[in-house]
Structure 1
Amino acid sequence: MNDYERIEKAIVYLKENFRDQPDLDVVAKQVHLSPFHFQRLFKEWAGVSPKKFLQFISVEYAKNLLKQNRSLFDVSFETGLSGTGRLHDLFIGIEGMTPGEFKNGGEALLIQYSFAATPFGEIVIASTEKGICHISFIKNQKEGLENLRYFFPNAQLVKKRDHLQEDALQFFTGDWNDLKKIKLHLKGTAFQLKVWQSLLHIPFGNMATYGTIAGSIQNPKASRAVGTAIGDNPVAFLIPCHRVIKSTGIIGDYHWGSHRKTAILGWEAAKLSPEN
């Protein structure tokens, strides 16, 4: 087998046997490699370790069971985990929330939201008592509310503009450097949060590449995984995923449209121009 065939076989094996929670030695044996060599090869091809890949498969299966209103004990057992403690740790590490929080869909969460016009189109902006939890460019307010309900299906949504939203909206018209004013309340995996935090360090009017971001989080080979995390950014503009471009200089994709991304980058550059 060549390297691609080995990784393909390993992925198929993990998908078919995840309920057994096979360890590194068992999976490496399936492709006739030493555990050390297999670990390195898998991470080069998949962008994550075999253990992390197994966790992703397990948590997706567990999420489907939780949506069926199964008990945490049943979900743990059917996913191949030793108990609800393992299930809890798995969800905290991958989803950034407990299994119970995923199951109730934010039921105890009060979210205030409003709509606002920006130089780049209308947005829906939402906040909890802890900070901004969602900003998205929208085509219309109905779409914006539906999008918010998708992310927080069981939260209590109240249409109201609060001071957290007011401070955030100042970034479109006022001082974009006073980050201390902005409080964020984010839900994500440890890896996603690390990527999103690194985006906050890209200066206004500047750009970075996916490879640069991967290097900044000490994972230089994870450009593809970084791109996925950037695409999952829940707070448009404030978490500046628009400032990340391809290493070739091409602007690249943007969740809210590549033309809007180009416009935002141009607007930021103009704001920094001495003539402005």
Structure 2
Amino acid sequence: MEHMTQSDDYARIETAIRFIEEHHREQPDLDEIARQVHLSKFHFDRLFRRWAGVSPKRFLQYVTLEYAKGMLQAGNLQAVALEAGLSGTARLHDLFVTIEAMTPGEYRNGGSGLSLRYGVAATPFGECLVAWTERGLCHLGFVPQSGFAAGPHTPDLTGSPSSPNSDNSPGLAPDLAAALDALKARWPAAALQEDAAGAEDIAARIFVPDARTARPFHLHLKGTNFQIQVWKALLQIPEGWVASYEELAGFMGNPKAFRAVASAVAANPVGFLIPCHRVIRKSGEAHNYRWGHLRKKAILAWEAARNTPAA
């Protein structure tokens, strides 16, 4: 229930961030921002404290371009990753993540012989579609909350004509249909089976309130050797920090390959857990996120709120 509440809260959070972004020159106050999400200032404050654990005034400081630029200048990725170390509580969650790449045969044959389970789960950043094999999580992608137009259950990904929840059903919102189609396209030969309860359990393990309670996570990923290396490098960026694409390329020992690194970051199949959201432009702009730049800003600010001591 707590995760569902956070997921519902997210729609208002994103609306607030969008309003601030569109009216940054006017510097709207909290009363004006609260009105945009149809809340009083008192309830607006409660919303942020429930969702982010901090006041809206403090949270919104982490959304600004100036804060992002300051984080980029705070230290190079090599030093930050080293300083965080194995004892850094901000990194405990990420350090529990291990990656196993598909075999070349599995990569070529589109998952033939693999059993793929999937489902939609609530998170602090809206619903997400997750999928996994017996060897680990292979997909996590956010979908807008309107994706539940057909009801609380994920549509049958097999597209069976006899299924009332087929992705051809008129009750299925286009955003979720597109997410399911993309998953099928990536795994055209895998045997797919819905598991809503399993998806909720996975989401609860990923979005834990305290990283110290995290359990190990194994990922089973389909990607080129270069992509796998980039995704592993992303795990070295501690929660609450950011890096530029150029800095990530330099961290990997190939600073001139930042465009190829950026492409691999964009192809990340497991959102949030592999923190591609922690890579931003040198200008401090948080764009280039397949699940929306407003969601990227929200995630970064949420992580900063969890890892920055109160003034």
- With the length of structure 2 as denominator, give the TM-score of the two structures: 0.53
What is the CA–CA distance in structure 2 between the aligned matches of 1:96 and 1:116, rounded to whole Å?
A: 25
Q: How far does residue 180 in structure 1 lie from its aligned partner after superposition?
A: 5.5
C-alpha distance in structure 1 between counterparts of 2:130 and 2:232, whole Å:
19
Task: Confirm or deny: 8 A CA contact 2:117 2:194 kept in the other structure.
Answer: yes
| Amino acid in structure 1 at the alignment position of 2:120 | F
| Paired letter, 1:195 | V
Q: In structure 2, what is the equivalent of residue 33 of structure 1?
A: none
**2:276 is aligned with 1:271:** no
Quick one: distance in 2 between partners of 1:103 and 1:273?
44
Structure 1: segments with no counterpart, 5+ residues: 1-94
Give the structure 1 partner of residue 33 of structure 2. none
Q: Normalized against structure 1, the TM-score is what? A: 0.60
Q: For the residues of structure 1 that align with 2:221 and 2:108, how far apart are their CA atoms?
A: 18
Change (3 A) 1:103 1:188: closer
2:179 is aligned with 1:144: yes
Would the aligned equivalents of 2:120 and 2:200 in 1 still touch at CA under 8 Å? no
Residue number in structure 2 paired with 1:253: 288
- Identical aligned pairs, as a percentage? 45
User: Residue 185 of structure 1: SS of its match in structure 2?
Assistant: strand
Q: Does 1:243 align with 2:278?
A: yes
Letter of the structure 2 residue corresponding to residue 146 of structure 1: D
Q: State the Cα distance separating 1:167 from its structure 2 match.
A: 4.4
Code of the residue aligned with 1:106 in structure 2: it is G
Alignment of 1:155 with 2:160, yes or no, is no
* TM-superposed deviation, 1:275: 4.5
Q: Report the equivalent of 2:133.
A: 128
Q: Partners in 2 of 1:209 and 1:237 — Cα distance?
A: 17
| 2:256 alignment partner, SS class | coil
1:125 touches 1:165 (CA, 8 Å); kept in 2? no
**Residue matched to 2:166:** none
Encode CA deviations 1:143-167: one digit per residue, 9 max, x unaligned.
3322211111111111115768724
User: Which segment drifts farther, 153-162 or 107-116?
Assistant: 153-162
Rounded Cα–Cα distance in structure 2 between residues aligned with 1:193 and 1:208: 18
Within the alignment, does 1:223 sit opposite 2:258 as a pair? yes
- Structure 1 or 2: more helix by fraction: 1
Please tell me the root mean square deviation across aligned C-alpha atoms, in Å: 2.4
**Corresponding residue SS for 1:222:** helix
Q: In the superposition, relative to structure 1, how do residues 96 and 131 fare at CA in structure 2: closer, same or farther (>3 Å)?
A: closer
Cα separation, 2, equivalents of 1:209 and 1:246:
5
- The offset of 1:215, in angstroms, is 1.2
Q: How many residues align?
A: 181
Between structure 1 and structure 2, the one with the greater Rg is: 1
SS in 1 for 2:286: coil
Counterpart in 2 of 1:110?
115
Distance 2:272 2:285 in 1: 19
